[in-house]
Structure formats: C-alpha cells, structure tokens
Amino acid sequence: MLQDTLTIRYYQKLTDAVVELWNRGYRFDDLRLYVDGYLAALRHSNTLEPYLIHRLEEEIVRFLYDPSNFEKTQTELDYR
C-alpha cells in the first residue's frame, strides 16, 4: 500500500495513462513497455527514493494483472 503522497500521485497518473492506452487499443506488452519506461525515467530523475519506486512498481504490476481495471462499466457502454 502506497502512503507517500508523491508516490500516490505518480501511481494515479500512471494508472490513468495505462487505462487510456488500453482504451486506444494497446495491449499488455505495450502497456508493460510504457510502465517500464515510466519507472526508468523516475529512477533516472531521482525524483523518488529507490524503495518508493520499487513499491510503485509492485502496485502497478498488480494493477496491470487485474482484468477488472480494464473492463468497461455500464455507464461507459451507454455513452458509446
């Protein structure tokens, strides 16, 4: 569970981007490459402590492997 506010902000941005990419037709391999690049940029920029980046990576991988995060809700289906 993430507790650092900056790490949570990065998690939210990353999950929003991943879902957006999924909705645009990208699939798991592409999403994983995007996440890996994002995390590499965070490591390179020294924005977060390495242990926070590691926790963020664990949470993002958990997010990617949960299929319920990529299902359309009934409200989204009604608007299409």
Residue 48 above 60 pLDDT?
A: yes
Question: Where are the domains positioned within the chain?
Answer: 5-68
Which pLDDT score is estimated for 21? 96
Other Cβ atoms less than 10 A from the Cβ of 47: the count is 13
pTM for the structure as a whole: 0.86
Tell me, what's the pLDDT at 32? Answer: 96
Mean pLDDT, residues 14-43 taken together: 96
Q: Which long-range contacts (CB under 8 A, 24 or more apart) does 68-77 make?
A: 69/15, 69/19, 70/19, 70/22
Does an H or E element contain 23, and which? helix 5-23
CA 70, CA 22: separation in Å to the nearest integer?
Answer: 7
